[in-house]
């Protein structure tokens, strides 16, 4: 399975397998749990098909998500079979701090303001 480019409701996303991780760019808003489920199912299928387990989430073009949707996404990350480490690129220091504080115990998830820092951290994570 190669690159996925889709629009689901108000969400636009591209998921691309690279040599040691999957890069997921998304923009717009994940406005409902149904949109989140459809999006994450596509990402999950790509992870399974590629055999990769590190994910770079490029979210600087995304709008905020409603709290129930944000919680659903965190729950998916906690239960995801194919994700071993996630680096999230965000567009502000406040979002970076908030995401790092919200990260669930035991998950290898970190937020960064620069993609280069995110990739450096992600590539050091064991799979």
- Which structural domain, as residue segments, surrounds residue 51? 4-123
| Confidence at residue 103, expressed as pLDDT on a 0 to 100 scale | 58
Number of domains in the chain: 1
Per-residue pLDDT tens over the stretch 72-108:
988 888 788 889 899 989 886 655 556 655 655 566 8
| Confidence at residue 11, expressed as pLDDT on a 0 to 100 scale | 94
Quick one: CA torsion of 48, 99, 60, 108, rounded to 10 degrees? Answer: -30
| Confidence at residue 47, expressed as pLDDT on a 0 to 100 scale | 94
Q: Which residues contact 102 (CB under 8 A, 6 or more apart)?
A: 74
| Confidence at residue 60, expressed as pLDDT on a 0 to 100 scale | 87
CATH value at residue 48: 3.30.750.24
Per-residue pLDDT tens over the stretch 3-50:
999 999 999 999 999 999 999 999 999 999 999 999 999 999 999 999
Q: How far is CA 111 from CA 5, 6, 103, 105, in A?
A: 23, 24, 9, 15
Instruction: Measure the CA–CA gap between 88 and 108, rounded to whole angstroms.
Output: 11
SS3 category, 119: helix
Q: In 54-80, which positions are buried (b, 16+ CB within 10 angstroms) versus exposed (e)?
A: bbbbbbeebeebeeebeebbbebbeeb
| Confidence at residue 78, expressed as pLDDT on a 0 to 100 scale | 79
Longest dimension (CA), the chain: 35
The pTM (predicted TM-score) of the whole model is 0.87
């Amino acid at each position: 399975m190669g690159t996925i480019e889709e629009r689901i409701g108000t969400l636009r996303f591209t998921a691309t397998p690279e040599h040691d991780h999957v890069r997921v760019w998304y923009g717009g808003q994940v406005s409902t749990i149904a949109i989140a489920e459809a999006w994450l199912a596509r990402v999950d299928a790509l992870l399974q098909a590629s055999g990769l387990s590190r994910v770079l989430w490029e979210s600087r073009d995304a709008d905020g998500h409603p709290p129930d949707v944000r919680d659903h996404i965190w729950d998916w990350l906690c239960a995801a079979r194919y994700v071993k480490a996630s680096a999230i690129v965000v567009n502000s220091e406040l979002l970076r701090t908030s995401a790092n504080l919200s990260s669930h115990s035991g998950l290898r998830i970190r937020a960064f303001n620069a993609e280069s820092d995110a990739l450096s951290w992600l590539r050091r994570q064991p799979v």
